[in-house]
């Protein structure tokens, strides 16, 4: 086991140069994946990823690690399925174990209306070869016997869309895996380097400003999440993004009993248990816009109550840590990526609560776009122009939580 | 000393088949220790044997399953009311744990090993994961879940003091002396952890002085676990979740003794000074027979003294050596060997401490002992303090100035009264950074992380506190970083001085772990709305289902009969869930004209109109009715789930445009019953002397009527496609009116109908349900509601967008379709045309009136005209359908205009 005992440098420190072919702003999953595929697929290796804090410090490192492809429009199902398929082989691709685990994901309905919605989702997933089936209440109980089928008597479970390959992964490993693999290919990952301005020449974006000076670039990609509008403001671009906090918590570690990932559309909550035994609980975005990543008591209290309704055994489990990320929300809850009206400036944003699942395909498609200057078919429906063209890709019914 | 009997006879509990006696002062841990238990838990990663260490609830060593509840800190949990205690991990038992082999295999598990192994072949990890999932965790989850319901209590003191030590008590007393209302909370009983002596006496004096104030309150065994914005400090005790909303906060949570890092530092028999002192001084137990004390602080000498006096006096053992700086040597009692300026470099023993190696003056000595007591400085217990961002929070005593004397702590506490709040509130740790010592000692007891793993991770490039934390999992365990956070910071700062990379990791709630059931206390907001007829529905056996936040009748047992009652005779339905508003004032017409895409200004009194509500993007928010009651006076309705949003919408636009409009939400105070069916008018005339013929109340009209003695606003409506009167009335008269209607309806063989029948009735008319048939980006024209939009109006919300969208090709439409086969497709069925997937069915029912399936479905037609034939695929199979024009039933609307 040479890899196991080695002390290979995963994240080398490099000196900031004055020019790169491509600068990627944001060292989260999407930024790092974009850099990796630029080097890997297109041989563009003179690439820098500029991260103002540490890599994975934004949404990628705060998300709740659920992988799934059970979306609700043809465009997004194809997109997330492509991502899911890349995730399947990602550990080998990056030579970094991401600890992906297929656990089966239940998306429960507690009313007839929601049951219809979940049935529709299962049927549509099947059209695009995504393995989701609709289960009635008895079948749900069989798949996840730990559930209180009456949900504390308050919200009896009608049925669920069951997405069999849905599961979890180690989010930090995805960040570090991409960073390590990209670094091996020559990409420079710089941490602690904020972008403070953009260099514009004749309407074209030609570089970025940092506290260490101006760095010029052939192309600049913003892979910034919750703070993206601060970047687009620098180039004078208006985008339909608002930023909401999203919170989650974990309990202490207990002997694993819950094998499935369980989400509830009506209770706005989802629960999984990691291999380490922590119960991870998330909910919908906070109802107000904010850049604050401070956690709230209201979230912990109301989410704990709903978690106990689903799983009564959780009553005596102990909250270990709660945290908050911020989400770049689009009007239709689908991502926003592609070229912009500003030459040399590309956007990979609008990742809201769904960005983590799309890291491999988002990075791959953005790399192709930047390297070839052609919009890959798979992200063509997700461009900035869709809002003006009345071609929203509505995932409002399926992406509000995770 | 070290007797098998507790000092005062008391209760007992069961421990893995044994009966353990406990005294009144005992914690679970002290009772177990007295009974000879030395293995309190097995560590998370290597399953190393762990015993008591801090005795202050700060380390993970004593976590056990207590009365079915896993991961309870037994060292701070009184033994008195406990029945059953067991250790969590360990197979076959915690005493003999086969998994302790993992320690010998640790060379296979360097930091981050799981990121480097089991990548190929791909089938390997799922198997390995199954094994990991078998052995992980601090203990089993409870088999018989029982939620104990606590209640919430709110407190609004001037000052909240967290921590009842010297500093906290002094702060509380000073604030109370100054006339402030003070709440003092302590996670234990005040003073209980301090060995008898001057300090404990002083605590008693301060406590009594504070408690004498009328404005003073004390909560003991009450854990404050977070400082949230507000400030809001939740505090949990045995009976309540206290929500404290103080004007200012004093955090006096003290400090944890510094965790020293050297090989063997986790062996049973290695103690923190305060823990050992507490064991001897409070519980009358000796940590060992031969005790070595290593300290470099004055406080450490106090612990040494407590140990020496108690242990020697009771004959349970002896302090054999003291490792102290030469400057403190004079404080060591006679008879104890002094090793001046020495450092403990190693502890050894197999499963328990047998000896320690001390280095002094360049020479190493091995001392035989079974207890090593370490008092090497303090790290602030600042998990709470660091959570504060903008709140008025002051630290006092050890948490702010670790290592201050009792007198200084008292002064410090007193100074917080009336003191200016520094900003931002942060611990100003005056202690030096901890020594990281040898590579092999454990930095983190929760996750078994050693210094060498820091080094390894650093070499691999994980070069900031945050990355090191995530890569090694240090600070992420049950102790919340109480022992290891300082070491993490020190390591990074040592390696890259002055860099941003050494900043503290973010302090997150909770500062102490907290049961989910305690968090959830009082959090179940009853978001379940009932209409004033709810009891009537339940009494008549209706099947109730959720409709948004409402509970509504789906049916009363026989949907087909309910349907026929509406179509053939007459029926009633409770439609009180509709959003209902009175809108009046000089600018009421201007407001409604602005937010509705239809005309409002030309509406005559006692006439109504169907309305849409659009947002600025031209997308449908809701629909409803606008009824004109008089000049500038309207009654408007919205859908059941859209009412709240619509109200905000009305108010926002009123503000935005600076209008003078009064909006009263009468959804709860006014109820509504729809009387529908060809004989609806006959029924009404049985109960009212007011005219309700087509002249008195034509289609599109409304009027006031007295029905069965109840004043009603009666509105002609169209939703179900029959002659219909909506009776809006005061909610308190609802049951009387409902009863009268049912009573009079007997003559017509009347039945009430529920949502199931309604959904079929409206579908036959081709009416959409907002939400079910629409998405957030639905424009009126996509769902055939162009008639309700008057583009001739110069302005209304959404007009600009609709104008722009009108120029674009329409690529999606909601279309009516019929299915002639044996059944209607399921709602959610997928639609195909010429083999291509084109959309989905949103509403679908078998129509008795048309004798075929009728449905609404979204169809994509980017290349022009929609298809004329579709195939629907659902969980049962396929059905063939034809795209038609709606409405399916009574297309000319003759019945509803009757």
Asked if the structure places residue B132 within a domain, the reply is no
Asked if the structure places residue B307 within a domain, the reply is yes
Asked if the structure places residue B284 within a domain, the reply is yes
Q: pLDDT at position B111, please? A: 87
CB–CB of B117 and A13 under 8 A? Answer: no
If asked whether residues B661 and B782 sit together in one domain, one would say yes
If asked whether residues B783 and B657 sit together in one domain, one would say yes
Burial of B208 (0-12, 13-18, 19+ CB in 10 A): exposed
If asked whether residues B465 and B387 sit together in one domain, one would say no
Domain at B183, CATH number? 3.50.50.60
**Coil, helix or strand at residue B536:** helix
A127 CA to chain B: closest CA distance, Å?
A: 8
**Coil, helix or strand at residue B458:** helix
β-pairing, A19-25 with A47-51? parallel
Residue B1 — very low, low, confident or very high, per pLDDT cuts 50/70/90?
Answer: very low
Q: pLDDT at position B409, please? A: 95
- Nearest one of B282, B847, B347 to B560, comparing CA atoms: B847
If asked whether residues B101 and B160 sit together in one domain, one would say no
Burial of B823 (0-12, 13-18, 19+ CB in 10 A): middle
Q: pLDDT at position A240, please? A: 96
A201 CA to chain B: closest CA distance, Å?
A: 32
If asked whether residues B760 and B703 sit together in one domain, one would say yes
Interface test with A, best of B94, B108, B115 (most A CBs within 10 A): B115
CA-to-CA distance for B12 and B31, rounded, in angstroms? 9
β-pairing, B355-360 with B233-236? unpaired
If asked whether residues B249 and B345 sit together in one domain, one would say no
Asked if the structure places residue B633 within a domain, the reply is yes
Rg over alpha carbons for chain A, rounded to the nearest Å, is 21
Domain at B748, CATH number? 3.30.1360.120
CA-to-CA distance for B766 and B785, rounded, in angstroms? 11
Burial of A377 (0-12, 13-18, 19+ CB in 10 A): exposed
Domain at B457, CATH number? 1.10.10
If asked whether residues B222 and B302 sit together in one domain, one would say no
Predicted confidence (pLDDT) at residue B428 exceeds the cutoff of 50: no
CA-to-CA distance for B331 and A41, rounded, in angstroms? 71
Domain at B71, CATH number? 3.10.20.30
| Structure tokens that stand for B152 in this block | 């919430």
pLDDT tens-digit map of A248-270? 999 999 999 999 999 998 889 99
- Nearest one of B295, B302, B301, B345 to B323, comparing CA atoms: B295
β-pairing, B270-272 with B371-375? parallel
CA-to-CA distance for B278 and B287, rounded, in angstroms? 10
Asked if the structure places residue B537 within a domain, the reply is no
Q: pLDDT at position B440, please? A: 83
Residue B430 — very low, low, confident or very high, per pLDDT cuts 50/70/90?
Answer: very low
Q: pLDDT at position A3, please? A: 61
Q: pLDDT at position B724, please? A: 97
Q: Which domain covers residue B51, as residue numbers?
A: 12-116
B212 CA to chain A: closest CA distance, Å?
A: 33
CA-to-CA distance for B76 and B29, rounded, in angstroms? 8
CA-to-CA distance for B434 and B436, rounded, in angstroms? 6
**What single DSSP character describes residue B509?**
S
Residue A300 — very low, low, confident or very high, per pLDDT cuts 50/70/90?
Answer: very high
Q: pLDDT at position A401, please? A: 63
Asked if the structure places residue B430 within a domain, the reply is no
Domain at B869, CATH number? 2.40.30.110
pTM recorded for the entire structure: 0.94
Average pLDDT of the segment spanning B530-544: 97
If asked whether residues B316 and B383 sit together in one domain, one would say no
Q: Answer with the one of B770, B789, B819 that is the final residue of a domain.
A: B770
Interface test with B, best of A254, A280, A329 (most B CBs within 10 A): A254
If asked whether residues B677 and B639 sit together in one domain, one would say no
CA-to-CA distance for B779 and B800, rounded, in angstroms? 12
DSSP codes joined into one string, B392-436: -EEE-GGGTSTT--HHHHHHHHHHTTTPPPPSS------SPPPP-
The rounded mean pLDDT for chain B is 93
Of A5, A92, A253, which has the smallest distance from its Cβ to B136's Cβ?
A253
Residue B423 — very low, low, confident or very high, per pLDDT cuts 50/70/90?
Answer: very low
CA-to-CA distance for B162 and B168, rounded, in angstroms? 7
The rounded mean pLDDT for chain A is 95
Say what angle helices A74-88 and A359-372 make with each other, to 10 degrees: 100
B232 touches chain A (CB under 8 A): yes
Q: Which ipTM score applies to this complex?
A: 0.96
pLDDT tens-digit map of B805-815? 999 999 999 99
**In total, how many domains does chain B have?**
7
Give the N- to C-terminal CA distance of chain B in Å, as an integer. Answer: 99
If asked whether residues B746 and B828 sit together in one domain, one would say no
Residue B185 exposure: Cα atoms within 13 Å on the Cβ side: 26
If asked whether residues B155 and B252 sit together in one domain, one would say yes
A177 to chain B: which residues are within 8 Å by CB?
Answer: 115
A202 CA to chain B: closest CA distance, Å?
A: 30
Predicted confidence (pLDDT) at residue A203 exceeds the cutoff of 60: yes
Q: What is the dihedral of CA B414, B415, B418, B421, to 10 degrees?
A: -130
Asked if the structure places residue B196 within a domain, the reply is yes
B459 to chain A: which residues are within 8 Å by CB?
Answer: 7, 9
CB–CB of B546 and A95 under 8 A? Answer: no
Residue B240 — very low, low, confident or very high, per pLDDT cuts 50/70/90?
Answer: very high
pLDDT tens-digit map of B38-58? 999 999 889 999 999 999 999
Asked if the structure places residue B367 within a domain, the reply is yes
Which residues make beta-bridge pairs with B337?
A: B321
Largest CA distance in chain B: 113
How many residues are present in chain B? 898
CA-to-CA distance for B287 and B266, rounded, in angstroms? 15
If asked whether residues B787 and B875 sit together in one domain, one would say no
Neighbours of B776 (CB within 10 A): 18
Please list, in sequence order, all residues whose beta carbon lies within 8 angstroms of the beta carbon of residue A184, skipping any fewer than 6 positions away.
none
pLDDT tens-digit map of B344-371? 999 999 999 999 999 999 999 999 999 9
pLDDT tens-digit map of A9-51? 899 999 999 999 999 999 999 999 999 999 999 999 999 999 9
pLDDT tens-digit map of A315-344? 999 999 999 999 999 999 999 999 999 999
- Nearest one of B696, B731, B735 to B714, comparing CA atoms: B696
Domains delineated in chain A: 18-71+73-82+171-239+332-386 (3.50.50.60), 105-164+242-329 (3.30.9.10)
Q: pLDDT at position B435, please? A: 77
**Coil, helix or strand at residue B679:** coil
| Of the listed ranges A8-12, A290-294, B432-436, B501-505, the one predicted with least confidence | B432-436
DSSP codes joined into one string, B240-282: EEEEE--SEEEE---EEEPPP-STTTTSTTEEEHHHHHHHHHT
Interface test with A, best of B105, B116, B236 (most A CBs within 10 A): B116
């Amino acid at each position: 086991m040479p890899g196991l005992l080695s002390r290979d440098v995963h994240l080398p420190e490099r000196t900031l140069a004055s020019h790169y072919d491509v600068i990627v702003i944001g060292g989260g999953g999407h930024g790092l994946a974009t850099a990796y595929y630029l080097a890997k697929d297109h041989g563009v290796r003179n690439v820098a990823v500029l991260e103002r804090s540490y890599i994975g410090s934004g949404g990628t490192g705060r998300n709740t690690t659920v992988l799934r492809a059970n979306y609700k429009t043809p465009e997004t199902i194809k997109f997330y399925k492509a991502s899911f398929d890349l995730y399947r082989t990602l550990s080998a691709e990056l030579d970094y174990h991401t600890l992906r685990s297929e656990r089966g994901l239940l998306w429960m309905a507690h009313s007839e209306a929601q049951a219809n919605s979940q049935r529709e989702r299962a049927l549509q997933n099947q059209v695009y070869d995504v393995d989701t089936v609709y289960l009635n209440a008895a079948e749900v109980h069989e798949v996840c016997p730990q559930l209180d089928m009456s949900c504390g008597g308050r919200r009896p479970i009608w049925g669920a869309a069951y997405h069999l390959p849905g599961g979890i992964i180690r989010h930090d490993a995805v960040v570090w895996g991409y960073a390590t693999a990209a670094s091996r290919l020559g990409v420079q990952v710089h941490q602690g380097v904020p972008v403070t301005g953009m260099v514009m020449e004749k309407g074209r974006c030609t570089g970025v400003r940092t506290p260490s000076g101006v760095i010029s670039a052939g192309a600049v990609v913003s892979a910034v999440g919750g703070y993206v509008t601060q970047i687009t403001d620098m180039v004078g671009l208006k985008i339909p993004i608002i930023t909401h906090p999203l919170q989650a918590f974990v309990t202490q570690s207990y002997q694993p009993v819950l094998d499935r990932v369980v989400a509830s559309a009506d209770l706005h909550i989802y629960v999984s248990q990691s291999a380490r035994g922590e119960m991870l609980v998330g909910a919908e975005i906070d109802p107000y816009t904010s850049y604050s990543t401070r956690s709230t008591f209201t979230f912990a209290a109301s989410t704990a109550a709903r978690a106990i309704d689903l799983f009564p055994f959780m009553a005596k489990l102990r909250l270990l840590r709660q945290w908050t990320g911020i989400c770049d929300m689009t009007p239709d809850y689908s991502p926003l990526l592609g070229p912009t009206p500003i030459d040399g400036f590309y956007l990979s944003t609008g990742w809201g609560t769904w960005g983590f699942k799309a890291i491999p395909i988002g990075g791959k498609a953005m790399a192709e776009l930047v390297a070839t200057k052609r919009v890959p078919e798979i992200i063509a429906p997700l461009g900035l122009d869709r809002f003006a063209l009345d071609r929203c890709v509505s995932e409002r019914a399926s992406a509000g939580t995770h | 000393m070290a007797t098998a009997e507790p000092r005062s006879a008391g209760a007992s509990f069961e421990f893995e088949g044994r009966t353990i006696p406990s005294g009144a002062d005992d914690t679970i841990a002290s009772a177990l220790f007295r009974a000879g238990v030395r293995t309190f838990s097995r560590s998370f990663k290597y399953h190393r044997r762990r015993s008591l260490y801090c005795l202050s609830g700060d380390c993970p060593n004593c976590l056990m399953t207590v009365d079915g509840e896993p991961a309870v800190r037994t060292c701070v949990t009184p033994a008195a009311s406990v029945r059953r205690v067991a250790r969590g991990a360990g197979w076959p038992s915690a005493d003999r744990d086969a998994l302790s082999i993992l320690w010998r295999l640790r060379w296979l598990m360097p930091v981050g090993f799981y990121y480097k192994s089991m990548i190929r072949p791909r089938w390997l990890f799922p198997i390995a994961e199954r094994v990991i999932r078998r052995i992980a965790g601090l203990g089993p989850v409870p088999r018989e879940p029982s939620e104990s319901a606590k209640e919430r209590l709110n407190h609004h003191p001037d000052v909240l003091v967290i921590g009842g030590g010297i500093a906290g008590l002094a702060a509380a007393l000073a604030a109370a002396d100054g006339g402030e209302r003070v709440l003092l909370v302590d996670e234990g009983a005040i003073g209980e952890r301090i060995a008898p002596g001057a300090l404990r006496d002083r605590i008693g004096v301060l406590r009594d002085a504070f408690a004498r104030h009328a404005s003073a309150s004390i909560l003991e065994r009450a854990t404050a676990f977070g400082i949230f914005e507000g400030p809001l400090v939740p505090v949990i005790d045995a009976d309540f979740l206290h929500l404290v909303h103080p004007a200012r906060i004093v955090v006096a949570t003290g400090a944890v003794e510094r965790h020293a890092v050297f090989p063997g530092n986790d062996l049973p028999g290695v103690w923190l000074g305060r823990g050992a002192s507490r064991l001897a001084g409070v519980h009358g137990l000796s940590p060992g027979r031969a005790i070595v004390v290593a300290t470099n602080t004055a406080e450490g000498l106090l612990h040494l003294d407590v140990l020496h006096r108690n242990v020697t006096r009771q004959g349970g053992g002896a302090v054999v050596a003291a490792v102290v700086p030469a400057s403190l040597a004079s404080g060591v009692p006679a008879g104890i060997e002094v090793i001046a300026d020495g450092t403990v470099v190693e502890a050894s023993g197999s499963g328990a401490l047998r000896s320690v190696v001390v280095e002094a003056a360049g020479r190493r000595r091995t001392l035989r002992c079974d207890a090593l007591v370490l008092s090497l400085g303090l790290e602030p217990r600042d998990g709470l303090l660091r959570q504060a961002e903008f709140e008025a929070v002051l630290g006092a005593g050890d948490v702010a100035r670790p290592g201050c004397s009792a007198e200084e702590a008292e002064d410090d506490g007193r100074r917080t009264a009336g003191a200016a709040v520094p900003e931002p509130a942060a611990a100003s740790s005056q202690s030096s950074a901890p020594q990281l010592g040898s590579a092999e000692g454990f930095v983190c007891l929760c996750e078994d992380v050693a210094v060498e793993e820091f080094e390894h991770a650093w070499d691999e490039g994980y070069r900031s506190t945050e990355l090191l934390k995530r890569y090694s999992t240090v600070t992420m365990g049950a102790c919340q970083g109480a022992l290891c956070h300082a070491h993490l910071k020190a390591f990074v700062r040592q390696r890259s001085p002055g860099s941003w990379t050494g900043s503290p990791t973010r302090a997150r709630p909770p500062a102490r772990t907290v049961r989910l059931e305690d968090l959830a206390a009082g959090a179940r907001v009853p978001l379940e709305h009932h209409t004033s007829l709810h009891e009537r529905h339940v009494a008549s056996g209706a099947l109730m289902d959720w409709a948004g936040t409402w509970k509504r009748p789906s049916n009363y047992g026989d949907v087909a009969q309910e349907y026929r009652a509406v179509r053939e005779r007459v029926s009633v339905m409770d439609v009180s869930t509709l959003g209902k508003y009175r809108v009046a004032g000089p600018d009421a017409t201007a407001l409604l004209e602005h937010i509705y895409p239809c005309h409002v200004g030309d509406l005559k009194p006692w006439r109504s109109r169907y309305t849409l509500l659009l947002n600025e993007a031209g997308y449908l928010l809701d629909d409803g009715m606008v009824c004109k009651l008089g000049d500038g006076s309207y009654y408007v309705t919205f859908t059941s789930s859209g009412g709240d949003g619509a109200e905000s919408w009305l108010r926002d636009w009123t503000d935005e445009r600076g209008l003078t409009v009064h909006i009263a939400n009468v959804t709860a105070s006014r109820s509504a019953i729809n009387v529908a069916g060809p004989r609806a008018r006959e029924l009404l005339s049985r109960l009212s002397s007011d005219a309700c013929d087509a002249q008195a109340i034509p289609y599109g009209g409304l009027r006031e009527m007295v029905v069965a003695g109840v004043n009603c606003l009666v509105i002609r409506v169209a939703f179900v496609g029959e002659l219909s009167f909506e009776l809006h009335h005061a909610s308190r008269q609802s049951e009387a009116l409902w009863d009268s209607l049912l009573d009079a309806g007997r003559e017509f063989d009347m039945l009430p109908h529920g949502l199931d029948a309604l959904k079929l009735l409206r579908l036959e008319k081709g009416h959409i349900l907002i939400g079910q048939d629409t998405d957030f980006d639905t424009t009126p024209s996509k769902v055939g509601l162009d008639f309700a939009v008057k583009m001739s109006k110069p302005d209304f919300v959404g007009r600009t967008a609709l104008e722009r969208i009108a120029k674009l090709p329409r690529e999606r439409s909601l279309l009516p379709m019929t299915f002639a086969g044996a059944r209607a497709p399921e709602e959610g069925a997928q639609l195909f045309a010429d083999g291509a997937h084109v959309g989905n069915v949103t509403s679908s029912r078998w129509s008795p009136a048309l004798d075929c399936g009728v449905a609404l479905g979204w169809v994509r037609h980017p290349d022009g005209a929609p298809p004329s034939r579709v195939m629907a695929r659902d969980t049962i199979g396929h059905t063939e359908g034809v795209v038609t024009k709606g409405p399916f039933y009574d297309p000319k609307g003759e019945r509803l205009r009757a």
